[in-house]
Amino acid sequence: MTPEINLKTPEIRANPYPTYARLRKESPVVLVKHPLFGKSYYLTRYNDIVSSFTDSRLANDRRNIEGDKDPLDRWWVPSLLRAFKNNMLATDAPDHRRLRDLVHKAFTPRRVEEMKQAVEKIVGELLDAAQKKQTVDLLADFALPLPLTVISEMMGVPEEDRLTFHRQMGGFLDNLSSPVGFLLQTPNAFNMLRFFRKLIRLRQTDPRDDLLTALVLAEEQGDRLSEDELVSMIFLLLLAGHETTVNLIGNGTLALLQHPEQLQKLRENPELIGSAVEELLRYGNPVDQPSPRFAREDIHLEGHVIPRGSTVMLLLASANRDESVFENPDTLDITRKPNRHVAFGMGVHYCLGAPLARLEGTIALQHLVRRFPQMKLAVPEQQLRWRGSIGLRGLKALPLRLS
Ligand code: HEM
């Protein structure tokens, strides 16, 4: 096996794909030191990753490995951080199904389709405001406020609180790259917890027709949702609801600007928006790696043994560039068909918000491309910087001139 490697150097963060290509060729299983989970086995090939999504020998909840301790149960991890981990992503059957069933109806394609007009209105207003500026940061001015507003409206988060929780979550995500960074996030985690408890109290006294109220009621009814699970659910939905889609729009816009002939094709053939969004998901990888899995037993894979209890990471961004599945994987082709990307994962944990992310990404990119045929980068490309969030791939800012 390749000696342990560091995937978080600034060079790899700026462009991980040449490294991933080398690993797919030489090291289908590679050891990487994960900031939270320590020595972890990263899988780099599409076929191994796809079969791992449905491999019952892998658990999402470390507590389901007999005799094992969750790393968050270590003595030095502040107990309040544990309140964030009882969510559906970090659970297995039967808890996973119980938690997912509580919210899945709000995210079905039919329910999401009903939100189309509301999303178009938000997009229109954000672009009107952006048009008045000479230079915009596409992320702060457009790609972020869109999903942040949509998920906040669905959940019922008051307008004045939205940027605050985004900053708290962003700080949390971007600073988990070391155990020390993790501990330094304790005050931030404490503030988030206080904020979630405030939201819960608000909907207990002022129930509305929103997801928060439905979840608060489920918790009050007793056996369907515990208090820690309620907090964790709010955390997951608010986080996954905006910190991912911002990267679809941000990375997607950058990829189109880097490939002017594809941008031109999309302008001339707006009906290609559906396959363009799928290709931008594949090419841009808003989620670079999903949540960790844990080996319930020794697993033999590609000539290696992954010992029982190990952490296993599925490198989605590598799978989506695998040459054995995608022809010319490093080429952006907005007409690519078939496009069996794994940007939303697979199996029982398949992204709950995929229909919503697709709707938001489609409307956002459609309107942006149509309204601003002259848009271009406002800084040299080399000056763009990538965030350090674990598992997510997104820019810190995307300065553009729109006209
Ligand atoms: C482009 C945007 C998005 C991408 C690329 C994305 C990607 C993913 C991926 C890869 C997973 C699987 C994680 C795993 O197996 O460990 C996932 C799960 C999940 N996503 Fe998304 N996501 C996006 C948007 C959203 C949105 C808008 C929501 C809305 C709340 C959302 C909510 C969730 C939830 C709740 C799960 C956990 C599902 C489960 O464990 O059953 N996601 N997402």
Nearest residue (by CA) to ligand 1, atom 18, is 351
- Specify the pairing of strand 304-306 against strand 299-301: antiparallel
Specify the 3-state DSSP secondary structure of 120. Answer: helix
Nearest residue (by CA) to ligand 1, atom 20, is 351
For residue 185, what are the CA distances in angstroms to 3, 43, 179, 190, 233?
31, 29, 10, 9, 20
Q: How confident is the model at residue 61 (pLDDT cuts 50, 70, 90)?
A: very high
Query: For residue range 291-312, what is the model confidence (pLDDT) as tens digits?
Result: 999 999 999 999 999 999 999 9
Query: For residue range 134-143, what is the model confidence (pLDDT) as tens digits?
Result: 999 999 999 9
The count of structural domains within the chain is: 1
Query: Which domain range does residue 220 map to?
Result: 10-401
Residues 310 and 299: their CA atoms lie apart, in Å, by: 10
Specify the 3-state DSSP secondary structure of 96. Answer: helix
Query: For residue range 248-274, what is the model confidence (pLDDT) as tens digits?
Result: 999 999 999 999 999 999 999 999 999
- Is 181 within a domain? yes
Q: Where residue 378 sits, what CATH number does that domain have?
A: 1.10.630.10
Residues making up the chain, counted from first to last:
403
- Is 5 within a domain? no
- Is 1 within a domain? no
- % pLDDT > 70, the chain: 95
- Is 38 within a domain? yes
- Is 392 within a domain? yes
Q: What is the predicted pLDDT for the residue at 76? A: 61
Residues 110 and 237: their CA atoms lie apart, in Å, by: 19
- Is 42 within a domain? yes
Residues 368 and 13: their CA atoms lie apart, in Å, by: 27
- Is 4 within a domain? no
Q: Which atom belonging to ligand 1 lies closest to the Cα atom of 360?
A: 27
Pocket of ligand 1 (CB under 6 A): 88-89, 100, 151, 236-237, 240-241, 244-245, 248, 286-287, 290-291, 343-345, 349, 351-353, 356-357
- Is 2 within a domain? no
Nearest residue (by CA) to ligand 1, atom 31, is 353
CA of 354 to the centre of ligand 1 (A): 7
